[in-house]
């Protein structure tokens, strides 16, 4: 066979639990000219290697032993962003396993290599895939940066060229349209694709676009059709579950996820999804069943998640078994030093300790939970911390946390209901409704006042008000977007002010990062253009 040296500058990782297979594959890639090769027998060791090296190519066997598989390993790498989109991941397997098709397209391997294979075939496959990576390298970088407009433009170039990467580019473009918040354009794009040739992924894309623009019934119909045609496509079940949930039907969501679990019982992501839905329904028995599987399966593997323990602990406490919750949390804290810093786990521990009759330990745990910077915590964690405060009698702190949470998400009515419920459940029924209503009103009032003052020509004070509110509630996208617009508006009419422009840019970028499709962004961009034109023309 022909020897090549093309690969001498490429680094490659081999992951296989069987020593013979590792050394055999190693010698095979050696024959192809790879010189920088690292072999690992376990996912844990492979993760160690990622700390020391960067790899261009990963050849991972599907079966890894130790309760993990190549798919779980890949999901872990991609969701934690341990590898970028430019890294080639090839799954080596004896049979193509369709059931391992997972939620997100980005968690799919670049390719499957079916055993047995000859060195020639491996060589051809690597050449082809590396060529594709090279052709898509610019798009991969734009995607990693979240520059969706750039991604769409780059994809259009390839689509127009109508070469072999055309369909790859279409696939990426559809995702980019959705990520950019262009839901209507995405619907039209996928519908055109389906007219040309119906493929499962474009149907799934259409269903996702319909769901995001709020056409819940059309999305459900598309997904039901897709599941009938491709019952192994797990992503369709996951999305259908989400659509049911968004439509306020957790029972239907749970039923869909259950049927997905029956087809693909090894997916951790799906058991976690079942737990989330069951949590929402308040069905803690189901939460316990689902997470117990996940926790057992990931124990002592790199795939374990601290939040699985926290949510399992919460379910056990809710089921009246706080001692059991204390015990599993204790085990986690003993074995994993980092877990002590997790505010969610600490909050759950506080409630469990309180219920188990250890108020001192409860207080210590809650103090740990309150050390975290509240502004950066996800909603679920914030709710857990508030609940812990309420359970241990620290009502004032709880109310402060909840008020801020409602104000950060002042239009999220489902969250408002959960806030009211948690207050009611902890003997604060009297203020359960008023806390939410007052918090929401305060935000509405603030927005109205700002608009009124702006109309009255008080642009500076209006911008000032919104800036203060945005700094207090950095998670409230509407307030932050309004603050950016108000600052630019002030600058446009009252003249350039470096500090105001800088602050406006910070707010604008923050909105772009979390909500690239936010409607206010177009207005902000127009203001920026007007400012440029005005001050460039006047020579300032």
Partner 1 sequence: MTEFPALAALTIHDVKNRLNLLVQHAERKGDGETLRLAMEAAATLTRLLQAYKAGTGQLRAEVDSHAPADVVEELAAEFRVQTSLRVELELAAAPVLACYDEALVRMVLQDALYNAMRHARAAIRISVGTADGCVEFSVADDGPGYPPEILGTPAMAMPADGEGTGLGLYLARQVAELHANGARRGELVLGNHGGAVFCLRLPL
Residues that bind partner 1 (CB under 8 A): 1, 18, 20-21, 24-25, 27-28, 31, 63, 94-96, 98, 112, 114-121, 123-125, 128, 162-164, 166-167, 197-201, 230-232
Query: Strand ranges (DSSP E) for 254-378?
Result: none
* Closer Cβ to partner 1, 6 or 79, answer by number: 6
* Closer Cβ to partner 1, 94 or 514, answer by number: 94
Q: Dihedral sign, CA of 219, 220, 222, 227?
A: positive
Cα separation, 335 vs 340, in Å, equals: 10
Nearest CA to 64 out of 16, 114, 11 is that of: 16
Query: Strand ranges (DSSP E) for 265-335?
Result: none
Query: At its nearest, how many Å lie between partner 1 and the CB of residue 127?
Result: 10
* Closer Cβ to partner 1, 19 or 214, answer by number: 19
Query: At its nearest, how many Å lie between partner 1 and the CB of residue 164?
Result: 5
Query: At its nearest, how many Å lie between partner 1 and the CB of residue 45?
Result: 20
- In this structure, how many other beta carbons lie within 10 angstroms of the beta carbon of residue 445? 10
Three-class SS state of 38: strand
Distance of CA 360 to the CA centre of its chain: 36
* Closer Cβ to partner 1, 63 or 535, answer by number: 63
On whether the CB atoms of residues 330 and 339 are closer than 8 A, the answer is no
On whether the CB atoms of residues 6 and 12 are closer than 8 A, the answer is no
* Closer Cβ to partner 1, 163 or 184, answer by number: 163
* Closer Cβ to partner 1, 80 or 164, answer by number: 164
Strand partners, 92: 61, 113
Query: At its nearest, how many Å lie between partner 1 and the CB of residue 130?
Result: 14
Strand partners, 89: 58
Query: At its nearest, how many Å lie between partner 1 and the CB of residue 188?
Result: 20
Query: At its nearest, how many Å lie between partner 1 and the CB of residue 63?
Result: 8
On whether the CB atoms of residues 284 and 319 are closer than 8 A, the answer is yes
The length of the chain in residues reads 540
Distance of CA 405 to the CA centre of its chain: 20
* Closer Cβ to partner 1, 65 or 495, answer by number: 65
Query: At its nearest, how many Å lie between partner 1 and the CB of residue 238?
Result: 17
Cα separation, 273 vs 294, in Å, equals: 11
Strand partners, 370: none
* Closer Cβ to partner 1, 122 or 315, answer by number: 122
Nearest CA to 245 out of 414, 106, 410, 384 is that of: 414
Nearest CA to 271 out of 280, 281, 282, 260 is that of: 260
Query: At its nearest, how many Å lie between partner 1 and the CB of residue 172?
Result: 13
Query: At its nearest, how many Å lie between partner 1 and the CB of residue 96?
Result: 4
* Closer Cβ to partner 1, 69 or 283, answer by number: 69
Phi, psi of 46 (to 5 degrees): -60, -40
* Closer Cβ to partner 1, 12 or 510, answer by number: 12
Distance of CA 160 to the CA centre of its chain: 32
Query: At its nearest, how many Å lie between partner 1 and the CB of residue 125?
Result: 7
């Amino acid at each position: 066979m022909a020897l090549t040296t093309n690969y001498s500058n490429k680094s490659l990782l081999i992951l296989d639990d069987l020593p013979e297979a590792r050394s055999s594959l190693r010698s095979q890639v050696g024959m192809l000219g790879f010189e920088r090769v690292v072999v690992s027998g376990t996912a844990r060791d492979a993760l160690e290697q990622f700390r020391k090296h960067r790899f261009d190519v990963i050849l991972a066997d599907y079966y890894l032993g130790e309760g993990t598989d190549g798919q779980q390993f890949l999901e872990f790498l991609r969701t934690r962003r341990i590898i970028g989109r430019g890294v080639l991941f090839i799954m080596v397997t004896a049979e193509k396993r369709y059931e391992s098709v997972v939620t997100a397209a980005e968690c799919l391997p670049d390719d499957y290599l079916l055993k047995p294979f000859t060195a020639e075939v491996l060589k051809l496959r690597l050449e082809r895939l590396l060529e594709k990576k090279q052709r898509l390298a610019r798009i991969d970088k734009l995607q990693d940066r979240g520059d969706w407009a750039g991604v769409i433009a780059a994809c259009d170039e390839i689509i127009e060229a109508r070469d072999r990467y055309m369909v790859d580019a279409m696939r990426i473009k559809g995702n980019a349209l959705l990520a950019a918040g262009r839901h209507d354009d995405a619907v039209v794009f996928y519908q055109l694709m389906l007219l040309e040739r119906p493929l499962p992924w474009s149907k799934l894309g259409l269903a996702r676009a319909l769901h995001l623009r709020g056409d819940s019934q059309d999305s459900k119909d598309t997904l039901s059709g897709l599941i009938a045609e491709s019952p192994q496509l797990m992503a369709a079940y996951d999305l259908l579950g989400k659509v049911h949930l968004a439509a306020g039907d957790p029972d239907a969501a749970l039923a869909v996820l259950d049927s997905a679990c029956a087809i693909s019982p090894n997916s951790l992501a799906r058991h976690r999804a079942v737990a989330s839905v069951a949590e929402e329904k308040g069905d803690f028995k189901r939460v316990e069943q689902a997470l117990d599987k996940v926790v057992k399966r990931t124990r002592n593997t790199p795939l374990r998640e601290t939040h699985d323990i926290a949510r399992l602990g919460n379910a056990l406490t809710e089921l009246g078994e706080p001692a059991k919750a204390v015990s599993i949390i204790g085990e986690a804290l003993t074995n994993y030093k980092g877990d002590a810093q997790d505010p969610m786990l600490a909050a759950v521990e506080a409630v469990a300790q309180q219920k188990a009759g250890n108020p001192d330990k409860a207080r210590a745990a809650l103090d740990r939970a309150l050390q975290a910077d509240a502004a950066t915590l996800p909603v679920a964690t914030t709710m857990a911390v508030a609940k812990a405060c309420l359970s241990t009698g620290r009502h004032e702190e709880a109310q402060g946390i909840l008020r801020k949470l409602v104000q950060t998400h002042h239009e999220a009515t489902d969250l408002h209901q959960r806030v009211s419920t948690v207050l009611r459940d902890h003997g604060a029924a009297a203020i359960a409704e008023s806390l939410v209503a007052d918090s929401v009103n305060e935000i509405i009032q603030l927005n109205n006042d700002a608009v009124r003052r702006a109309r009255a020509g008080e642009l500076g004070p209006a911008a000032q008000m919104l800036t203060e509110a945005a700094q207090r509630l950095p998670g409230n996208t509407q307030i932050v977007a309004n603050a950016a617009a108000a600052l630019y508006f002030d600058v446009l009419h009252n003249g350039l002010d470096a500090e105001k422009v800088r602050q406006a840019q910070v707010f604008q970028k923050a909105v772009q990062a979390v909500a690239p499709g936010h409607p206010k962004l177009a207005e902000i961009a127009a203001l920026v253009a007007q400012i440029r034109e005005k001050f460039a023309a006047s020579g300032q």
